């Protein structure tokens, strides 16, 4: 579970590390968001829209389910 209690977890931190230690700022620039928003998504404090989720997955060349998972 995320800190806010949302049942969505993500692998963004790991995927950033695996993609040349991409910074939050670099990811933010690629998906057209602020670094603070990427940090909030990564920390599970903010659930992105479906479009933003797809953008993030596209940056990592992965499917949506490889980045975000529903955890009961």
Kindly list the residues in this chain that would bind other proteins in the complex (CB under 8 A): 4, 29, 32-37, 39-40, 43, 45-46, 48-49, 52
Q: How far is the CB of 64 from other proteins (least distance, A)?
A: 17
Q: How far is the CB of 59 from other proteins (least distance, A)?
A: 15
Please name which of 63, 41, 46, 45 lies closest in space to residue 54, comparing C-alpha atoms.
Answer: 63
Q: How far is the CB of 18 from other proteins (least distance, A)?
A: 24
> In this structure, are residues 50 and 35 in contact, taking their beta carbons and an 8 Å threshold?
no
Alpha-carbon radius of gyration of the chain = 11
């Amino acid at each position: 579970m995320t800190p806010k209690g949302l049942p969505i977890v993500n692998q963004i931190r790991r995927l950033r590390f695996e993609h040349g230690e991409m910074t939050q700022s670099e990811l933010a620039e690629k998906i057209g968001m602020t670094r603070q928003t990427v940090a909030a998504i990564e920390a599970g404090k903010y659930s992105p829209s479906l479009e933003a989720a797809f953008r993030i997955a596209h940056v990592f060349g992965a499917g949506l389910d490889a980045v975000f998972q529903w955890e009961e």
